[in-house]
């Protein structure tokens, strides 16, 4: 750990007790990548090997991450976030990049790779440094040089180790390495927003039913919406399949929408933030440096007959930690 001017192809790490690592094969990774990286456990010793024919980069800090996969043999206590660092040069790089992936489910996070892409970029977006987020979507790159990177989080559907334009992704461009741990948010477009099919016959039929019922047979609901800078495209769906679509205009204050007469029952509200006001959901564009329009988390309500309800709507909190960079 911390060895300088090292250009070998193996390392031997001795622990103070017998170890095992049954899950290490799927957890071990290195940055920059070491070809044919393997491991072997011999009692208290962990032996790491990589390709002898691979030329290591000069004056570069290397890191092998083992995650939480190594544990003592007797009590099976894991060595948390275990990593080994060395340099092919005369010093260890000490800067970092920390981030958080927003918009991905826990299941998707487990399949997500985060890469730092060195500039300038050619047509192949292959990461010089790679890691995986934790179950909260947080990730960290440490021991980095003074540099600026593109950050890409993606699901590697074809398992080729690089991001391809057809794969779900999120990004932040021109992000510098830092001494502190300020978090950059990476919006992740896990799937396109699908605008629901509109069954005009069903909508008209249920609207007719609503118009014929007494107010005592309906729920009277007004929604309150916190301040928002962009148009919100919203769908309200009843458990029967009936849907209503609304377009909420920007407001600098909390607003209370007009009272609605609704059928009793369970509802789901979903939609997206229409940042460019074109009434359709737009995905991310790395070339144009445009983020995907944020998809709102579904919200569920239940209203009963003869209720008069004021229902608050939750919107994403403003991003306070993202570092802005005007390069494009």
Domain at 146, CATH number: 2.60.40.10
Do residues 26 and 127 both lie within one domain?
no
- Round the average pLDDT of the chain to a whole number and report it: 88
Please give the residue that has the higher pLDDT: either 129 or 302.
302
**Per-residue pLDDT for 322 more than 60?**
no
327 belongs to a structural domain: no
323 belongs to a structural domain: no
Do residues 4 and 59 both lie within one domain?
yes
pLDDT for res 130: 85
Range 33-40, long-range pairs (CB < 8 A, 24+ positions): 33/130, 34/62, 34/64, 37/64
Q: What share of the chain is helix, strand, coil (3-state, %, to 5)?
A: 5, 45, 50
Do residues 1 and 87 both lie within one domain?
yes
**This prediction's pTM:** 0.72
Do residues 82 and 13 both lie within one domain?
yes
What's 47's domain CATH number? 2.60.40.1220
Count of structural domains within the chain: 3
325 belongs to a structural domain: no
Do residues 212 and 185 both lie within one domain?
no
Do residues 181 and 154 both lie within one domain?
yes
pLDDT for res 324: 42
Please give the residue that has the higher pLDDT: either 26 or 115.
115
Torsion of CA 163, 169, 173, 175, to 10 degrees: -90
Tally the residues of the chain. 328
Do residues 38 and 108 both lie within one domain?
no
133 belongs to a structural domain: yes
| Domain containing residue 44 | 1-92
What value does the CA radius of gyration of the chain take, rounded to a whole number of Å? Answer: 26
317 belongs to a structural domain: no
pLDDT for res 318: 60
41 belongs to a structural domain: yes
**CB contact at 8 A, 13 and 46:** yes
Give how far Cα 124 sits from Cα of 54, 177, 299, Å: 20, 22, 39
């Amino acid at each position: 750990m911390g060895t300088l001017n090292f250009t070998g192809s193996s390392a031997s790490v001795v622990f103070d007790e017998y170890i095992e690592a049954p899950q290490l094969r799927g957890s071990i990774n290195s940055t920059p990548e070491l070809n044919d990286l393997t491991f072997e456990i011999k009692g208290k010793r962990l032996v790491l090997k990589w390709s002898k024919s691979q030329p290591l980069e000069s004056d570069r800090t290397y890191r092998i991450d083992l995650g939480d996969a190594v544990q003592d043999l007797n009590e099976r206590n894991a060595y948390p976030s275990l990593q080994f660092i060395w340099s092919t040069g005369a010093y260890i790089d000490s800067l970092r990049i920390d981030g958080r992936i927003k918009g991905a489910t826990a299941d998707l996070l487990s399949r997500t790779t985060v890469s730092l892409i060195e500039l300038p970029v050619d047509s192949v977006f292959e990461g010089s440094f790679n890691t995986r987020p934790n179950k909260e979507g947080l990730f960290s790159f440490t021991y980095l040089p003074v540099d600026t990177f593109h950050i890409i989080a993606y699901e590697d559907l074809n398992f080729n180790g690089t991001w391809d334009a057809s794969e779900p992704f999120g990004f932040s461009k021109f992000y510098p390495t830092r001494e502190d741990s300020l978090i950059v948010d990476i919006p992740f477009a896990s799937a396109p927003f699908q605008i629901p099919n509109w069954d005009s016959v069903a909508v008209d039929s249920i609207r007719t039913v609503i118009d014929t019922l007494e107010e005592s047979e309906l729920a009277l609901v007004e929604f309150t919406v916190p301040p928002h800078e962009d148009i919100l495209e919203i769908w309200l769906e009843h458990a029967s399949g009936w849907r209503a679509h609304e377009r909420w205009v920007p407001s600098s204050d909390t607003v209370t929408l007009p009272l609605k007469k609704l059928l009793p029952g369970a509802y789901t509200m979903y939609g997206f933030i229409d940042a460019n006001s074109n009434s359709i959901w737009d995905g991310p564009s790395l070339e144009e440096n445009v983020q995907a329009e944020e998809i709102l988390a579904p919200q569920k309500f239940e209203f009963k007959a003869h209720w008069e309800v004021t229902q608050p709507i939750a919107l994403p909190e403003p991003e306070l930690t993202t570092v802005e960079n005007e390069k494009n």
